[in-house]
Amino acid sequence: MRVLICAVGKMRAGAERDLLDDYLTRFDRTGRNLGLGPVEVIEVEAKKPGKAEEAALLLKALPKNPVICAMDERGKVMTSPQFSDMMANVRDAGNGDLCFVIGGADGLDHELRQQAQHVLSFGKMVWPHMLARVMLAEQLYRGASILAGLPYHRV
């Protein structure tokens, strides 16, 4: 199952980019044997900032018939084992693409959230959308590690 991170904004070189690349490389290596990955990052840039335009660009960038997981502060908070189970369930249902969608500075448009099969949150705090990508990449790697029975995740 292919995993996509579709996000508003271009991530520049720097500490966040280095962390993102590191966790995505780890996920690809671990997930490959589990039928997870590769990960593809799709970045969209709105000409006029606004949630509706950003949502339209994000939806246009998605492949046909994906499982959409919207990352949103109003979403469900999961434990890492629950997150890994969600990924495995999507994969085991025969879905070809699991797409995580991260909005811009103002978050995701209501219509896009409505189309998502999953809406997840990293907690009640608001995180910078560039840092949210890194946090998501780490959880993807942690989830694959849990499914592989690796010691990275300790309870």
Smallest CA-to-CA distance from 36 within 151, 153, 150, 145 is with 145
Q: Distance (Å, rounded) from C-alpha 130 to C-alpha 11?
A: 7
Q: Average pLDDT of the chain?
A: 94
Q: Name the CATH superfamily housing domain 2-148.
A: SPOUT methyltransferase, trefoil knot domain (3.40.1280.10)
Task: State the average pLDDT over residues 103-132.
Answer: 92
pLDDT (0 to 100) of residue 128: 86
| Nearest by Cα to 73 from 125, 11, 140 | 125
Look at residue 129 in the predicted model and tell me its pLDDT.
83
- Residue 49 in this model has a pLDDT that exceeds 80: no
Distance, CA of 151 to CA of 142 (rounded, Å): 10
Extract the tokens encoding 84: 């890994």
pLDDT of 155 reads 62
Mean pLDDT in residue range 109-128 = 93
Output the CA angle 143-61-105, nearest 5 degrees: 75
- Give the separation between CA 154 and CA 93, rounded to whole angstroms: 27
| pLDDT of the residue at 82 | 97
Cα-trace Rg, the chain:
15
pLDDT, tens digit, 9 for 90 and up, residues 25-46: 999 999 999 999 999 999 999 8
Q: pLDDT tens-digit profile of 88-116? A: 999 999 999 999 999 998 889 999 999 99
Is 139 or 126 the better-scoring residue by pLDDT?
A: 139
Question: How far is 51 from 107, CA to CA, in rounded Å?
Answer: 7
pLDDT score, position 102: 96
What is the reported pTM? 0.94
Q: For 4-10, what is the mean pLDDT?
A: 96
Residue 102 — φ and ψ, nearest 5°?
-120, 125
- DSSP bridge partners of 93: none
Between helices 15-31 and 129-148, what is the axis angle to 10°? 20
